[in-house]
């Protein structure tokens, strides 16, 4: 296996981390089965120009962000569950930033999405079924203002440069 193997190929989607910027947190608060909803959409606004019948102008509008959906096994004593309970049951909303990182085989972030001012809007628990032996899954849905992608181009360029220098050093040593 080459030093460059984890840096050149597209990363796999099963190795990731989620950190909600709130304190305190327990180890259970960092464990999630899946993350979906990192999506942004810009709907163009169509404007007709008087006297021009061949086309209409299209202008970008404000980006619209989907809700983030986090799934995990149901845990007792979770501060994230308390945060969601306060929002849903008591209508006390306390927005927090969220960091979602895709990790490589060395557990180093390949890409990170910094989600700003997220707050819970939906909590659901999977079904209870006496005929199945499955985990109870808690699904948290978060609304947020926007997200920024951090370091995808910088991480890849820096990682390839570092790996190349390591590989060069290994080749020189042999």
**pLDDT one-digit tens code per residue, 104-154:** 888 889 899 999 999 999 999 999 999 999 999 999 999 999 999 987 665
- What are the structural domains of the chain? 8-39+58-173 (2.30.110.20)
How high is the pLDDT of residue 170?
A: 42
Q: Check whether 67 has a pLDDT greater than 90.
A: yes
Which DSSP category does 98 fall into? Answer: E
Helical spans, DSSP H, in the chain: 5-8, 79-90, 152-173
Cβ atoms within 10 Å of 57's Cβ, excluding its own: 11
Q: What is the pTM of this model?
A: 0.75
> At 99, which helix (H) or strand (E)?
strand 96-103
Distance in Å from the first CA to the final CA of the chain: 16
Tell me the CA distances in angstroms from 118 to 19, 71, 156, 166, one per residue in order.
12, 16, 28, 40
The pLDDT of residue 65 is above 80: yes
- Predicted confidence at residue 54, as pLDDT, reads 87
> In the 8-state DSSP scheme, what is residue 130?
T
pLDDT, tens only, 92-103: 999 999 999 998
CA distance readout (Å), 66 to 79, 123, 136, 146: 24, 16, 25, 9
Q: 81: Cβ–Cβ under 8 A, 6 or more apart, which residues?
A: 75, 138
Is pLDDT at 171 greater than 50 in this prediction?
A: no
Distance CA 84, CA 65 (A): 20
């Amino acid at each position: 296996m080459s030093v460059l193997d984890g840096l050149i190929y597209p990363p796999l989607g099963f190795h990731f981390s989620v950190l909600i910027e709130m304190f305190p947190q327990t180890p259970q608060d960092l464990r999630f089965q899946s993350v979906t909803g990192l999506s942004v959409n810009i709907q163009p606004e169509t404007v007709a120009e008087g006297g021009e019948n061949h086309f209409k102008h299209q202008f970008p509008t404000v980006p619209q962000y989907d809700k983030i959906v986090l799934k995990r096994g149901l845990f007792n004593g979770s501060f994230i569950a308390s945060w969601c309970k306060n929002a849903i049951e008591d209508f006390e909303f306390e927005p927090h930033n969220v960091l979602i990182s895709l990790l490589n085989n060395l557990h180093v972030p390949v890409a990170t999405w910094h989600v700003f001012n997220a707050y819970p809007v939906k909590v659901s628990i999977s079904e209870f079924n006496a005929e199945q032996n499955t985990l109870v899954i808690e699904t948290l849905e978060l609304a947020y203002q926007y997200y920024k992608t951090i370091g995808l181009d910088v991480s890849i360029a820096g990682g390839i440069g570092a790996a190349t220098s390591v590989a060069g050093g290994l080749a020189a040593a042999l």
